[in-house]
Structure 1
């Protein structure tokens, strides 16, 4: 440390160990962008096709910018605003902009945490409230609104949000969500109450526990019938999709969002690291760990999607089998899911007009 450095910089606290620092950076980067938005983009752009521009954006955009943020924070040992002001007074607005971005993102992230807490509180009962539709006031059946949608959607829109029919109608005060939101902010305050001292301790749980949950989901999802169909869709690229410029734009945006670049947090975390730390190695670890988590979280999601698609696909074919069986007066056990294609081709060749009159459903596994 040079003697002419300001006293507050020279006395800046440091992480207890390198593991705390890396876990904090990983916990900061790995979030909803990795476990929620990444699988959605993979599904939107044909599974494996999105992985190609994503990997290119990671190497040429994500890792260099991540390295820069870790390096300048570690070298100047200041937060985002202080770093950019030190580089040039005209660049101080970048630090303020980073602060504004982090504040706005924390608002909706904590709202999502509040919803999670609400569902967590309701999960300590059996049966789960979103498993079945509630009974109507007359006790003559289920709520008609729930029957038209589903129990899951009803609990979300009516019990959780109590959403109004349109944006012009004002809703009532949802005190239960306010309590959950206040609890979420209290948890954030507890983690930050003593700076990196409490962050470094809490990070051992807040970072490792989600990986444990993801592993449980992974094991369970891989045992579901049809899971392999979802994984095939995830890792099989549709090369025609790469001609769409939106794929490349969304991949670049995803790298920025998932690595939390320009949020200011990585600069602040690295400022508590020793100046001679290998920040290039840290950037590689954090960047690749974030991408690994994105794929790791996508596997159970696509396995479950494959399971649901197979269920709907089989329901569709069973409906067609019933129509064919009744129309052509054949035994109930003759047409099965395994030989459905053979029977359909046979009837379509021998009596196409009759088959057309049945209005059979088009059963495509990809569309389910």
Structure 2
């Protein structure tokens, strides 16, 4: 959920100082209110994303489906970030660190030209790790070292989740934005590694740093993959006769096979696309319908009573104002601004091209039309379930009733759902 904005792995690598002010504004008026809202709903309902929003209103079931779809898409590429971290962690045991010096050329008569014209840190990232192509249309080949690390990462995730569904009961109904843009990944694997080699005992610092990143990333991945499992089990899409270990293994294996495309030489370009369009834009739409659904469908007064019943404390004015007005308004403004910018200026990407005349500056290129179509598909796919499910429920109700109304009868309440549970006395 939105708590990951504070602690998730990639939050350490995407916010340079110039963005601290808007970051804290967004945190105060968006992140914290939405976190509180989701935690309260989770404590009240104790369900996965689809079941929770369907319980509030059948017309809001699409919010849960959209959240689940985002979780699926994010899970496909997020483990590749852990793959990069694992690769750097493995190489951190070398002395000197491999990104601290340029290798010799093939004739061993001087330094590698690409490394010499850029830096050792850049060369290790773009050539030795990604072996990146100069254009997104050039797929390249699978990088075997990344394939092995990716397999290891998915194996670790599987081992962490085969009992997690039963023993921890964790699930996520919304998912954070994981910014993997050029500046973001560069800050982690270029700027930070450059800083590490300047420190005394750089090898030890590198091991500790990438251990920390991997631990944070694994915890985020664990919560995210649980968000994929839980709705499947709750909605009985998967037969209960199938062992959870087998279900986890199938999902992890399929995800690994799909994620192999991110270990191609052009894989980092596609990760940027998935992050920019599948892991960010839909969240604006889903978060907007989350807060408006609670405030105007479930009703803020009833939700406030539920929170008071669960916590023994009445919601103050801050929560009332942010949920009613500020949060949905800011989400709408950001979404409209993003769409407007995309229309005014077609999306572009920056490519690492040693043959570029301004190398080592990265070359800015426009996405080809077929890639732009994929970008639109990734952004629209999770969002389209919100109106589709609402329309389906409306048509179903009109078919069964001669006097249909948009909102279902207000029979749901947190106290009713939890009537068998007593509120702990203070």
The TM-score range, normalised by the shorter chain, is 0.3 to 0.5
**Bigger CA radius of gyration:** 1
TM norm structure 2: 0.39
TM norm structure 1: 0.44
Kindly indicate whether structure 1 or structure 2 has the higher relative contact order, using CA contacts under 8 Å at least 6 residues apart: 1
